[in-house]
Amino acid sequence: MPPPFFNPVLFGMELLFAVIIFILCLIIYLKTKESYQLTQHQGIRFFRDAFLFFGISYLIRFSFMLTKLFFDIRLFRGELGSLFILPLGYLSTIAIFYIGLSLVWKKFNVKYFVILGHIIAILLSILVFVTKSPLILVYIQSFFLIMAVILILITNKKKKSLIKTVYVLIFIFWLINLWAVIPGKFLAMEYKILFHLISVGLFGIVYYKISKWLK
Amino acid sequence: MAKMNKKRDRLEVIYDILTIVRNHHNSIKPTPLLRFSNLSSNSFAEYFKELKSKKLIKVIVNNKNKKYISLTDNGFKYLEKYKLIIGFIDEFEL
């Protein structure tokens, strides 16, 4: 007998969405491998790692959502959900952090900021794990988003930057997609499809831009 | 902004050194390479070490015990891909 919350259409859509995003991120990671190996360029390193972590985060988000689809909500809110929220919190925070670092790594002491980023990501994921509240992750990552936008506006007054806009949008839609899988939060199917399509489009833009340079 | 160009300059300097080696029939002694690269000896030593560690160049000692520098396959690949990599770095503001 299927579980009470199981919705085959939602399951299929979410599976397809997670797989497409993961494959796009994996291709981005693999396409930039040679450039990094040849140059050991720190910006390329942060960029490719960020997309790898984003891809894995979307897969974990899907697993996290599966628990919502297949299991009783009480169990989901308890141990099972916590199992996924720990790596989800860590990897997605690091992904966001690395995207930021890929843009500003020349201006700071990279080693110090990488360590700081990992400490923040670990503390954040532990906090979410202990409190069993994925909403905290959304709130804190939203705070990071606001900080990132302010930073971009300050450092980017004159020059229009398509790629920074794409990054901010990827970040915004990540937060919406994450929020949508939190127990008790509901997003209509039409909006889910729309947001998923936009997310795929954003990752597709990054993939397309990379393909232009790195065959 | 000056800082931002530093890494680009670094990639460019590597490109220039590798180009010099290639343009000398892929075999050049360290002293002329230093001269053609327009770097201080300290900078050159630093780049030389980096290029060897990244396996972009190799040092060949001939039977008269003279050292020659040659490009590795990775060195040739770097030259081939350089412009594309720079385009990618620019596009993504890395």
Write the ipTM.
0.84
Residue B71 lies in a domain: yes
Please state, in angstroms and as integers, the Cα–Cα distance from residue A116 to each residue in A112, A146, B24, B27, B55, following that order. Answer: 6, 19, 46, 45, 32
Question: For position A156, what pLDDT does the model report?
Answer: 66
Number of domains making up chain B: 1
Residues of chain B neighbouring A102 (CB-CB closer than 8 A): 92, 94
- pTM exceeds 0.90: no
What per-residue confidence (pLDDT) applies to B4? Answer: 41
A35 → closest Cβ in B14, B54, B81: B81
pLDDT at B79: 96
Query: What does each C-alpha distance from A194 to A50, A101, A191 come to in angstroms?
Result: 24, 29, 5
Count A/B contacts: CB-CB distance under 8 Å. Answer: 65
A156 touches B at CB < 8 Å? no
Assess contact for A181 and A17: CB atoms under 8 A: no
Question: Concatenated DSSP letters for B30-64?
Answer: HHHHHHHHT--HHHHHHHHHHHHHTTSEEEEE-TT
Judge whether A164 is closer than 8 Å to chain B, CB to CB: yes
Could you please report the per-residue DSSP string of A162-206?
HHHHHHHHHHHHHHHHHHHTSTT----HHHHHHHHHHHHHHHHHH
CATH number of the CATH domain containing B55: 1.10.10.10
CA distance B39 to B68: 19
Whether A108 has its CB under 8 Å from any CB of chain B: the answer is no
Q: Is residue B93 part of a domain?
A: no
Nearest to A210 among B6, B77, B88 (CB): B88
Q: CB–CB of A209 and B89 under 8 A?
A: no
* A72 CB within 8 Å of a chain B CB: no
Q: Which residues of chain B have a pLDDT value below 50?
A: 1-8
The token duo for A178 is 């994450």
Report residue A195 as tokens.
Answer: 């947001």
DSSP string computed for A61-81:
HHHHHHHHHHS-HHHIIIIIH
Query: So where are chain A's domains?
Result: 8-213
| DSSP tag of B69 | E
- Tell me, yes or no, if A159 comes closer than 8 A to chain B by beta carbon: no
Does residue B12 sit within a domain? yes
Distances (CA, A) of A158 to A153, A194, A214: 9, 32, 28
| Smallest Cα distance from A206 to chain B, Å | 9
Pairing of strands B67-71, B57-61: antiparallel
Give the distance from residue B79's alpha carbon to the nearest chain A alpha carbon, in angstroms.
10
- Euclidean distance between CA atoms A185 and A202, whole angstroms: 24
pLDDT for the residue numbered A152: 76
Task: For residue A41, give the nearest of B3, B74, B89 by CB distance.
Answer: B89
Q: Do B84 and A213 touch (CB under 8 A)?
A: yes
- Tell me the pLDDT of chain A (215 aa) as tens digits: 455 556 788 889 999 999 999 999 999 999 999 999 999 999 999 999 999 999 999 999 998 888 776 666 666 556 667 778 889 999 999 999 999 889 888 887 788 889 999 999 999 999 988 888 888 999 999 998 888 888 777 766 667 788 999 999 999 999 998 888 887 777 888 898 999 999 999 999 999 999 999 87
Residue B92 lies in a domain: no
Domain that holds residue B69: 2-85
Report d(CA A29, CA B35) in Å as an integer: 39
Cβ separation B88–A213 shorter than 8 A: yes
Reading the block at residue A32, the tokens are: 């930039």
Asked whether residue B28 is assigned to any structural domain, the reply reads: yes
| Residue A97 burial by Cβ neighbours in a 10 Å radius (0-12, 13-18, 19+) | buried
